Amino acid sequence: MTGDVTSSATSTTPQFAAETVPTGEFVRQGNRFTGRICRASTSRPGEGPDDENRWPVEAGRYRLVVSLACPWAHRAVIVRRLLGLEEAISLAIVDPIRDERGWRFTLDVGDRDPVLGIGFLSEAYLRTDPDYTGRVTVPAIVDTVTGRVVTNDYPQITLDLSSEWTDHHAAGAPALLPDDPARRAEMDALIADIFRDVNNGVYRCGFATSQAAYDVAFDALFARLDVLSERLASRRYLMGAAITEVDVRLFTTLVRFDAAYHGHFKCNRHQLTELPVLWAYARDLFQTPGIGETVDFDHIKRHYYATHEAINPTRIVPRGPDLSGWSAPHGRDGC
């Protein structure tokens, strides 16, 4: 705590004013599009959603739009790769630098996505809901038949990749969701704690506009990291001997920690590299086939430092940190 700062009033311009409450706390917007691609859909191939907003599972029909900088999108990129869904669901990657119109396809020839034919993800949002005024977010799954957004519900997207696309999983794909109800409940509770205090917690630190809001988020973040360190001291992964969904969700925050959150979001009690258990655990995941190759530190750094002008008005991108340690032996094989 910063003892000589007592005011809790918002005193700076928020990065996202619509998601910042008067006490200075960042409150993330909800997900506007919550359709699901489900085996239980009663729609026929090529049709839209059924009466329960369930779209049919069709290989080659849907396009996953992501930013390699975004931790929420990164989850879907990893799960898609681990499950071997690259041929079933195509991937579109937006520029890590947003302008006032949002995520843009300026990495593609002609500054347009070659499949969807749009220059900005906002075009698909507005085609789906012409009255939409919220932030345009990734990941989003877009239907290539209609150009409509099926979902931007990032927590559900990865769960459905595991449970609804099983006919298209690669042979030997990992089971990221426990079958046992008790273990699933245990994992879901972990996911909730990690989302609140870590995944979203770093944003609550970084986008806070009052000292009080920042202090609460900071304390919760590092208290949770301490709990996770203790849990991982006696097991290789969060649920035991195998990687599950909750590991993917924690990893996408940890891999950005020193490159972005420690400095940019003021999450600076420790660097990840100073937390021995979590640092070894993160390296273990990074070195797992299907995970490390999805990490793009250049996109990560340029996005955070060059698009949050309320936090970094100069938009200078730091040259550090040293990333060579990610390939160092992790020593967790025997956990």
Task: List the catalytic residues.
Answer: 70, 203
Element (H, E) at 250: helix 245-256
Is residue 151 within 8 A of residue 35, CB to CB? The reply is yes
Is residue 114 within 8 A of residue 91, CB to CB? The reply is no
Q: Hey, what long-range contacts does 265-272 have (CB within 8 A, 24 or more apart)?
A: 265/202, 265/203, 265/205, 265/206, 265/207, 265/311, 266/205, 266/206, 266/214, 266/218, 267/202, 267/205, 267/206, 267/218, 267/221, 267/222, 269/218, 269/222, 270/222, 271/321
Q: Name which of 308, 94, 80, 105 is nearest 202 in CA terms.
A: 308
- In single-letter form, the type of residue at position 94 comes to V
